Amino acid sequence: MRYTVRFAHLKKQSPLAVGTKVTRGMRLGEIGNTGQSTSRHLHIDNIEDWIDVHYTLATMEIGGVSPSPRQLNYFIDEELFGGNPFHITAHYCDPKYQYERKKLHYGYDIVLDDVGAWELFWNRTPLGVILVNRNHKYYGNHLCIGYEV
């Protein structure tokens, strides 16, 4: 099955071009505070299929794309941040997020515990392919990476 993972609110656009193959341990970029972010963090979500067009949390909520929470959870570990500890500030379908922002949050918002460590790495065994590397008013600088399992 094919999936797309999105890493949003990066400090600047990743140096990795669309079509670049990514392998485990490869540096993807640096976490930032771009788009509609209110503080430095990583927003990460995961959907079924390879998607190279813009989608939003609202698109996910109405079924325009299919969220994949099981696949998303495989990304949530310290290897994603080069071994650095982190904590989740908005959980998957977080009720507080829904109450405050009037939409479901089909992803995680994550901050690192060490404020000096903001690097982001590909932490999966399957080979990834950069599908999207752009800046958007909502998600700021972000990468979408397709992979198959």
State the alpha helices, DSSP H only, in 42-147: 57-61, 69-73, 95-101
Share of the chain above pLDDT 70, in %: 100
Nearest to 145 by CA among 21, 1, 15, 10: 21
The torsion of the CA quartet 63, 65, 70, 72, rounded to 10 degrees, works out to: -130
Per-residue pLDDT of 24-80, as tens digits, reads 999 999 999 988 888 899 999 999 999 999 999 999 999 999 999 999 999 999 999
Q: How far apart are CA 119 and CA 22, in angstroms?
A: 15
How big is the CA angle at 9 (ends 40 and 118), to the nearest 5 degrees?
50
Confidence of residue 116 (pLDDT cuts 50, 70, 90): confident
Nearest to 73 by CA among 93, 56, 54: 93
Tell which wins on pLDDT, 124 or 35.
124
pLDDT of 38: 84
Pull the structure tokens for residue 80.
Answer: 């994603």
How confident is the model over 83-107, as a mean pLDDT? Answer: 95
pTM of the entire structure?
A: 0.95
Q: How far apart are CA 148 and CA 134, in angstroms?
A: 22
Q: How many separate domains does the chain show?
A: 1
The beta strands (E) that lie in 27-148 are given as: 27-30, 42-48, 86-90, 108-112, 119-121, 128-136, 140-148
- The average confidence (pLDDT) of the chain is 95
Report helix, strand or coil for 96.
helix
pLDDT of 115: 79
Q: Which one-letter DSSP state was computed for residue 25?
A: T
By residue range, what is the domain housing residue 59?
A: 2-148
